[in-house]
Structure 1
Amino acid sequence: MTVSVTFKTLLAATALAALPLAAGAAGDAAAPDQNLRIRHHVLSIGKDGVQRESRYADLMYRRAGTVWVERELPPAVREDHDHEAREGKVHIGHSHADNTAAPLWLRRDAAGKVQVGMVLREQRKVIEVDAANYGNVGYGGSWANAYWLVDPASLPRMKPLGAAGQGVQRYEVRQGESTLRIDWDTAGRYARKIEQRNAHGTSLNVMTASAIAAPKTLPWKTVDAYERGEYSDLLD
């Protein structure tokens, strides 16, 4: 599954794939709580001259040891997903399979072990996802990239563009014909913007994160009573 078609894959995981990341980022306690709307814009122009473009947004709630990410959907589209869930059509590999509306719930314990859960609200289930199937639900396997939107350990290997201003430090690195720029929020401790483009103007990947109001109830607080299941439960 690629960044342009899966809702939970953060752009940072793909954009920094060519960089040698450190094994771990700073502790979660070093980052303040965040409530973010993450907008994605992906554009490509093929050799056939056809321009393909997609835009979508995720909502992300970050607390120490916890990340929750879900797609922001228009009401009519949300109702379609909820209807299929009520009809029991959430099955990986099924002809009606579509888990793009299911929130992803990441938890990291004191020992560094990460649990990945896919939340099926209409079925009142939390599906625990094993490492072999992370890619199927859009988790790239890097807690740092999920928690900070980019691993802070990668930033010192990039070129700072001037001094920090208005709470943001910009970094840049060139990878062949591709240029990657990151706007790092120095107080909020997350990537405000990640932009990757090629020199020919035929490929563009942009992620922009902006602060939103905290929900009255954090979403994972509402799923304590949900039934637990395994990813294999969704396989045909």
Structure 2
Amino acid sequence: MMVAKRIMALGLVAFLGLPLSAWAQPASALRVEYHQWQVGKDGVRQELSYTEKLYRQENALWVEREVPEAAQRDHDDHHHGGLGHKHADVVGAPLWIQRNDNGNVDVKLVDRYEQRLIDIAPPYYGNVGYDGHWMETWALVDPASLSSLEPSSVADDGVETYQIQRGSQHITLVWNPERRYVVSIRARDEHGLSGRTIEAKEIADSEPAPWTTLEGYKNRDYSDLLD
């Protein structure tokens, strides 16, 4: 059964890369749609889709799942109903990642309902959908992994298309080098039994930046919430 975790950029090599300040005006806000599917031995096709918004600065990234209002309301009715809850119920909560000048990252989940900033230590990154690769999360692919490849085509606006073979998977990747993000990734296995797509579009920036609205939030450690 598929597990609803963030789909990273198809296992391409991670690398910190050049400072973002050396790049030409990277896009500051993206809306990213994820879709994956697979056909089981019983012939049943399973599908998983979700959408996230990415707000990006040179050393800060905010990743927020789009949750329909009705789904959020149902969640609140079942889990909060006036009784409160002891443990973190943070599936789909925003992820705030900061990187310092040494390349080290600080990862937090933002629990808006309880107004908590939940520190995530490296052993728990996978629990919150972060694979530890800053650049691959920030740009949806590590640009360094494309440096040894020749694009199959380059559009008039400079957007590059790459055809990549990874084992039995064929990947078509469209990269915007000026705005520094993946426009789309389409992958399909040679037997047609599984595939996935990632599609990103630029959106208006958040005003104010979401990480500037957290005054009064209390810090908690993720491990304390697993008891």
TM-score by length of 1: 0.87
- Which position in structure 2 is the counterpart of 1:5? 4
The CA distance in 1 between the partners of 2:165 and 2:86, in whole Å, is: 41
**1:88 deviation in Å?**
3.7
Unaligned residue ranges in structure 2 (runs of 5+): none
Superposition RMSD in Å: 2.1
Specify the code of the residue in structure 2 equivalent to 1:24.
Answer: L
Among 159, 175, 195, the residue aligned to 1:168: 159
1:25 correspondence with 2:10: no
In the alignment, what sits opposite 1:186?
177
Q: Does 1:102 align with 2:93?
A: yes
Note if 1:34 corresponds to 2:28.
yes
Of the candidates 50, 62, 68, which is equivalent to residue 68 of structure 1?
Answer: 62
Taking the aligned partners of 1:138 and 1:117, their CA distance within structure 2 comes to 12
User: How far apart in 2 are the matches of 1:90 and 1:145?
Assistant: 34
Deviations 1:12-41 (Å, cap 9, x if unpaired)? 1xx12xx5x364212122252421111011
Output one character per residue of 1:201-229: Cα deviation in whole Å (capped at 9) or x when no partner.
11111010011111221111111321111
Whole-Å separation in 1 of the counterparts to 2:83 and 2:183: 39
Whole-angstrom CA distance in 2 between matches of 1:80 and 1:127: 23
Moved more, 127-136 or 197-206: 197-206
Provide the rounded CA distance (Å) in 2 between the counterparts of 1:46 and 1:193. Answer: 26
Query: Which residue pairs with 2:216 in the alignment?
Result: 225
Provide the residue aligned with 1:153 in structure 2: 144
User: 4+ runs of 1 displaced by more than 4 Å?
Assistant: none
1:114 corresponds to 2:105: yes
Query: 1:95 maps to which residue?
Result: none
Quote the offset at 1:10 in angstroms.
Answer: 3.7
Q: What is the alpha-carbon distance in structure 2 between the residues aligned to residue 135 and residue 232 of structure 1?
A: 13
Distance 1:196 1:113, change over 3 A: same
Aligned length: 223
Residues 68 and 103 in structure 1, CA contact (< 8 A), matched pair in contact too: yes
User: Which amino acid counterpart does residue 11 of structure 1 have in structure 2?
Assistant: M
CA contact (8 A) 1:11 1:207 kept: no
Aligned to 2:87: 91
For residue 113 of structure 1, report the CA deviation from its aligned partner.
1.2
SS at the partner of 1:157? coil
Q: What is the TM-score with the length of structure 2 in the denominator?
A: 0.90
Aligned-residue offset at 1:11: 2.7
